Chains A and B, each alone.
Chain A
Amino acid sequence: MTNSIDDIADEAKAFFIIGSNTTETHPVIGYRIRRAIKNGTKLIVADPRRIKIAESADVFLQLKPGTNAALLQGMAKVILDEKLYNEVFIKNRTEGFEEYAKKIGAIDLNEMADITGVPAEKIAEAARIYAGSEPAAILYTMGITQHTSGTDNVLALAGLATLTGNLGKRGGGVNPLRGQNNVQGACDVGALPNVFPGYQPVSSPEANKKFSEAYGAEIPDQPGMPMTKMFKAALEGKIKGIYVMGENPVVSEPDICKIKDAMEKLELVIVQDLFFTETADYADVVLPAASFAEKDGTFVNTERRIQRGRKAINPPGEAKSDFKILSELGQKLGLKGFNFSSPAEALQEIGELNPKWKGVTYERLEEGGICWPCPEENHPGTPILYGEKFLTGSGKAQFKAVEYKPPAEVPDAEYPLILTTGRSLYHYHTGTMTRRSDGLSDLYDVEKALISLEDAKNLGLSENDRVILSSRRGEVEAEVKPVSDLKEGTVFMTFHFAETCANQLTNSELDPVANIPELKVCTVKMEKV
Chain B
Amino acid sequence: MYKVTINGLDVEVEQGATVFEAAEKAGIYIPTLCYHPDLPTFGGCRVCMVEADGKIVTACRAPVTDGMVVKTDTEEVRKVRLTNVELILASHHKDCQSCSRNNTCKLQEVSAFVGINQDRMRQIRRSVEPVKPDDSNPFFHRDFTRCILCGICIRTCQEINGVAAIDFAFRGFHTKVSVLGDKPLKDSQCESCGECLVRCPTGALYLAEPAVAEREVESVCTYCGVGCGIKLGVRGDRVIKVEGNRDNQVNRGDLCVKGRFGFGFINHPDRLTKPLIKKDGIFVKTSWDEALDFIVDKMSDIKARHGADSLGGISSARCTNEENYLFQKLFRAMGTNNVDHCARL
Q: A181: shortest Cβ distance to chain B, in Å?
A: 5
Interface-located stretch among B28-36, B99-107, B126-134, B321-329: B321-329
A71 to B320, CA, bound (A): 37
A116 at the interface (CB under 8 A from B): no
Contact check, A439 vs B291: say whether CB atoms are below 8 A apart: no
User: B227 contacts A253, CB within 8 Å?
Assistant: no
Beyond A182-B320, A186-B316, A270-B295, is A239–B310 a contact (Cβ under 8 Å)?
Answer: yes
The answer to whether A335 and B334 have CB atoms under 8 Å apart is: yes
B256 touches A291 (CB 8 A): no
Determine whether A505 belongs to the interface, using a CB cutoff of 8 Å to chain B: no
Residue of A nearest to B275 (CB): A287
Flag whether A410 is at the interface (Cβ < 8 A).
Answer: no
Q: How far is the CB of A242 from chain B (nearest CB, A)?
A: 5
Complexed CA–CA distance, A156 and B225 (Å): 23
Q: Could you say which of B9-17, B145-153, B296-304 contacts chain A?
A: B296-304
Interface-lining segment among B48-56, B88-96, B117-125, B234-242? B234-242
Instruction: Give every chain A residue within 8 A of B256 (Cβ-Cβ).
Output: 27-28, 425
B112 within 8 A of A: no
Residues of chain A within 8 A (CB-CB) of B221 are 181
Total residues of chain B contacting the partner, CB 8 A? 110
Residues A239 and B311 in contact, CB atoms below 8 Å apart? yes
Proximity string of chain A (419-461) to chain B, C-beta cutoff 8 Å, 1 when within and 0 when not: 0000001111100111011111011000000000000000000
Q: Is B212 an interface residue (CB 8 A)?
A: no
A340 contacts which chain B residues (CB < 8 A)? 326
Segment from A83-91, A105-113, A124-132, A212-220 that makes contact with B? A212-220
* Residue B2 is within 8 A (CB to CB) of chain A in the complex: no
Q: In the bound complex, do residue B265 and residue A436 qualify as a contact, i.e. CB atoms below 8 Å apart?
A: yes
Q: A242-B314, A293-B219 are in contact. Are A299 and B322 (CB under 8 A)?
A: no
B134 CB, min distance to chain A CBs, angstroms: 15
**Bound CA span A426–B283, Å:** 32
The reply to whether B343 and A192 contact each other, CB–CB distance below 8 Å, is yes
Q: How far is the CA of A267 from the CA of B304 in the complex (A)?
A: 14
**Does the CB pair B320–A309 fall under 8 Å?**
yes
Do A240 and B311 touch across chains, with their CB atoms under 8 A apart?
A: yes
> Inside 8 A of B270's CB, which chain A residues have their CB?
275-276, 436
B229 surroundings in chain A (CB, below 8 A): 307
B338 CB within 8 Å of chain A: yes
Name the contact of A190 in the complex, choosing from B225, B283, B320, B328 (C-beta under 8 A): B328
Interface size on A, residues (CB 8 A): 154
Q: Report how far A234 CA is from B338 CA in the complex, Å.
A: 12
CA–CA, A180 and B315, complex, Å: 13
Bound: A215/B312 CA distance, A: 18
Given contacts A276-B270, A335-B334, contact A181 B296 (CB under 8 A): no
A306:B321 contact, CB within 8 angstroms = yes
Contacts of B299 in A (CB 8 A): 241, 243, 268, 333
Docked Cα-Cα span, A141 to B223, in Å, equals 15
Contact of B4 with A by CB under 8 A? no
- Pairwise interchain contact B224-A284, C-beta atoms closer than 8 A: no
Tell me how far the C-beta of A277 lies from the nearest C-beta in chain B, rounded to whole angstroms.
Answer: 10
Q: Which of B67-75, B158-166, B167-175, B198-206 contacts A (4 or more CB under 8 A)?
A: B158-166
Q: Which of B139, B249, B309 contacts A224 (CB 8 A)?
A: B309
Q: Are B225 and A178 touching (Cβ within 8 A)?
A: yes
Task: Please give the distance in Å from B295's CB to the nearest CB on chain A.
Answer: 6
Do the beta carbons of B333 and A217 come within 8 Å of each other?
yes
**Can you list, as one digit per residue, whether each of A307-338 has a CB less than 8 Å from chain B (1) or not (0)?**
11111111011111111011111101101111
Q: Are B226 and A436 in contact (CB under 8 A)?
A: no
Q: Is A101 an interface residue (CB 8 A)?
A: no
- Closest Cβ–Cβ distance, residue B297 to chain A (whole Å): 10
The reply to whether A323 and B277 contact each other, CB–CB distance below 8 Å, is no
B residues 178-193 with Cβ under 8 Å of A? 186, 191-193
Interface: A247 (CB within 8 A): yes
Q: Are B330 and A326 within 8 A (Cβ)?
A: yes
Tell me the number of A-to-B contacts counted with CB atoms below 8 Å. 481
The 8 A CB mask of A487-529 against B (1 = contact, 0 = none) is 0000000000000000000000000001111010000000000
| Cβ–Cβ contact A286 & B340, under 8 A | no
Checking A34, A215, A240, A305 against B250 with a beta-carbon cut-off of 8 angstroms, the contacting residue is A305
- B273 close to A (CB within 8 Å): yes
CA distance A76 to B16 in the complex (A): 44
The CA-CA distance from A301 to B247 in the complex, in Å, is 16
At the interface, yes or no: A197 with Cβ under 8 Å from chain B? Answer: yes
Shortest Cβ distance from B312 into A: residue? A230
Q: Which of A25, A276, A436 contacts B272 (CB 8 A)?
A: A276
Could you say which residues of chain B place their CB within 8 Å of the CB of A337? 329, 333
Q: Once the chains bind, are B337 and A191 in contact (CB under 8 Å)?
A: no
Neighbouring A residues of B224 by C-beta, 8 Å: 25-27, 178-181, 428
In the bound complex, do residue B320 and residue A217 qualify as a contact, i.e. CB atoms below 8 Å apart? Answer: no
- With most chain B CB atoms within 10 A of its CB, the pick from A217, A310, A318, A437 is A437
Kindly list chain A residues whose C-beta atoms are within 8 Å of the C-beta of B257: 27, 425-426, 440, 443
**Are the C-beta atoms of B249 and A186 separated by less than 8 Å?**
no
A433 touches B262 (CB 8 A): yes
Once bound together, how far apart are the Cα atoms of A44 and B205, in whole Å? 36
The answer to whether A319 touches B262, judged by C-beta atoms less than 8 angstroms apart, is: no
Indicate whether A274 reaches chain B with its CB closer than 8 angstroms.
yes
A312–B239 CA distance with the chains assembled, in angstroms? 8
Residues of A within 8 A of B316 (CB): 182, 186, 245-247, 322
Q: Is B251 an interface residue (CB 8 A)?
A: yes
Query: Are B312 and A186 interface neighbours, CB within 8 A?
Result: no
The reply to whether B338 and A297 contact each other, CB–CB distance below 8 Å, is no
Contact of A183 among B219, B225, B275, B288 (CB under 8 A): B225
Shortest distance between the CB of B45 and any CB in chain A (Å): 24
List the B side residues contacting A211 at CB < 8 Å: 332
B344 and A516 contact, CB distance less than 8 A: yes
Judge whether B323 and A320 touch: CB under 8 Å. Answer: no
CB proximity of A24 to chain B, nearest CB, Å: 9
Given contacts A217-B333, A297-B321, A440-B262, is CB(A326)–CB(B312) below 8 Å? no
B317: interface (CB < 8 Å): yes
| Bitwise interface map of B from 283 to 299 toward A, beta carbon under 8 Å scored 1, else 0 | 10000100111111011
Cα A311 to Cα B232 in complex, Å, equals 9
Chain B hits for A171, CB < 8 A: none
Q: Which A residues touch B334, using CB under 8 A? A: 217, 333, 335
A-B pairs with the 10 shortest C-beta distances? Answer: A317-B273, A301-B227, A297-B320, A34-B162, A246-B316, A224-B337, A178-B225, A27-B256, A288-B272, A439-B138
Taking A224-B338, A285-B276, A338-B329 as given, write out 14 further A-B residue pairs in contact, using a Cβ cutoff of 8 Å, ordered by the A residue number. Answer: A28-B250, A31-B160, A180-B318, A182-B316, A189-B322, A190-B324, A242-B312, A243-B313, A285-B294, A296-B320, A312-B239, A337-B333, A433-B222, A437-B261
Can you give 17 contacting A-B residue pairs, CB < 8 Å?
Answer: A31-B162, A190-B325, A191-B341, A192-B343, A230-B314, A245-B316, A293-B217, A298-B322, A300-B321, A302-B225, A313-B238, A317-B271, A319-B271, A332-B292, A349-B325, A425-B256, A440-B258
